[in-house]
Amino acid sequence: MGRGACAPRRIGPFEVPAVGLGCMNLSHAYGVPPTPEAAERLLLTAVEEGVTLFDTAALYGFGANEELVGRVLAGHRDRIVLASKCGMTGVDGRRVIDGRPETIRRTADEALARLRTDVLDLYYLHRLDRRVPVEESVGAMAELVAAGKVRALGLSEVSARTLRRAHAVHPIAALQNEYSLWSRNPERGTLAAARELGVALVAFSPLARGFLTSAPPDLGFLPAGDIRRGMPRFDTSHYPANLALRHELEKIADDVGLTLAQLALAWVVSRGSHVIAIPGTRSVGHLRENVSTLDLDVPAEALEAAERVLNAATVHGARYNDVTLAEIDTERCGRAG
């Protein structure tokens, strides 16, 4: 995989590099957030490094992440593709899935204010609300497009069937699902459906929530509130076996002069010309490492070896606990969830 395999990719009317930036962990999910100064430095460095797709959500930090992204990147608005999400927010300190049209309309107005913009380039339904037909949720989002508040629509963590239902209501530009060497759920339907419909498959957590980086999570030091504490793959009953697989991947990466993160990202973006990865990081060094993947010539043999080592059949533990899995509409991958 060389630069040609990582030519700019399409999301609806937009063209973006194959590696963007997921902004969640600057405010949410992985313990104590970085300082505002460190977060600002990371975001501005991403702009300098040529990142154009920035992904946030109303849920992240219960609005704090949108505020951060809006404050830091408002002066660079014409250089970026700004994506956010509705349908899952914080209410009285709790995460709530709510896809009702009135909630979507209110959340969009709040997002526009926090992001300091008149229009969102890409707006996702963050989760399918099983109490609300997807046609109703997407219908409300289509009204936002008609009103000039949103340019393109997306869905997150849904199945191929739900994607097709939504696409029949209004064209869907992007489908965001977890996709990495150890989370292969899109291969059960959405990867092919997105390609068929002309939808970008935006891969979140392409580095397996930090597992496929130079410093995998140390279970003894995961801070309180870190979401990985509740994920089976990071449980002490599964994690040692997964670390053994990671060690094999490191050997493959070393043999071809790559870091593990570069190998893992190269694998994700090699899965199709419609696939875009949005790794998150708090480290400027890791950011540059991730973006540099676009310039690397990765042998196909290394990618094939990597996918044989770590996949849905070899990973230990489901990607979410049973409660969270029940909320998600994506196809399952056998014992891996």
**pLDDT tens digit sequence for 236-270:** 999 999 999 999 999 999 999 999 999 999 999 99
Q: Are 17 and 53 in contact (CB under 8 A)?
A: yes
pLDDT band at 7 (very low <50, low <70, confident <90, very high): confident
Q: What percentage of the chain has pLDDT greater than the value 70?
A: 97
The whole-angstrom separation of Cα 51 and Cα 278 is 10
pLDDT band at 335 (very low <50, low <70, confident <90, very high): low
**Average per-residue pLDDT for the chain:** 96
pLDDT score for 6: 77
The pLDDT tens digits of the residues spanning 100-119 come to 999 999 999 999 999 999 99
pLDDT band at 224 (very low <50, low <70, confident <90, very high): confident
Q: What radius of gyration, in Å, describes the C-alpha atoms of the chain?
A: 19
Indicate the burial class of 227 (C-beta count within 10 angstroms; 0-12, 13-18, 19 or more).
Answer: middle
| 3 state SS for the chain | CCHHHHCCEEECCEEECCECEECHHHCCCCCCCCCHHHHHHHHHHHHHCCCCEEECCCCHHHHHHHHHHHHHHHHHHHHCEEEEEECEEEECCEEEECCCHHHHHHHHHHHHHHCCCCCEEEEEECCCCCCCCHHHHHHHHHHHHHCCCEEEEEEECCCHHHHHHHHHHCCEEEEEEECECCECHHHHCHHHHHHHHCCEEEEECCCCCCCCCCCCCCHHHCCCCCHHHHCHHHCCCCHHHHHHHHHHHHHHHHHCCCCHHHHHHHHHHCCCCCEEEECCCCCHHHHHHHHHHHHCCCCHHHHHHHHHHCCCCCCCCCCCCHHHHHHCCCCCCHHHC
Q: Are 148 and 123 in contact (CB under 8 A)?
A: no
pLDDT above 90 for 4: no
The pLDDT tens digits of the residues spanning 283-297 come to 999 999 999 999 999
pLDDT above 80 for 126: yes
pLDDT score for 69: 98
pLDDT band at 229 (very low <50, low <70, confident <90, very high): very high
The whole-angstrom separation of Cα 51 and Cα 54 is 8
pLDDT above 80 for 96: yes
pLDDT band at 3 (very low <50, low <70, confident <90, very high): very low
The whole-angstrom separation of Cα 267 and Cα 208 is 12
pTM of the model: 0.96
Out of 30, 60, 123, 124, which one is annotated catalytic? Answer: 60
pLDDT score for 333: 85
Given its phi and psi angles, is residue 225 left (phi above 0), alpha (psi -120 to 50 degrees) or beta? left
pLDDT score for 1: 45
pLDDT score for 87: 97
Q: Is 179 a catalytic residue?
A: no
The whole-angstrom separation of Cα 158 and Cα 85 is 14
pLDDT score for 334: 64
Residue range 308-320: mean pLDDT, rounded: 97
Report which of 120, 110, 178 is spatially closest to residue 153, judged by C-alpha positions.
120
Residue range 150-176: mean pLDDT, rounded: 98
pLDDT above 90 for 138: yes
Quote the tokens at residue 130.
């099983």
The whole-angstrom separation of Cα 140 and Cα 104 is 7
The pairing of beta strand 88-91 with beta strand 53-55: unpaired
pLDDT above 90 for 2: no
pLDDT above 90 for 88: yes
Residue range 16-43: mean pLDDT, rounded: 96
The whole-angstrom separation of Cα 61 and Cα 56 is 10
All domains in the chain, ordered by first residue: 15-332 (3.20.20.100)
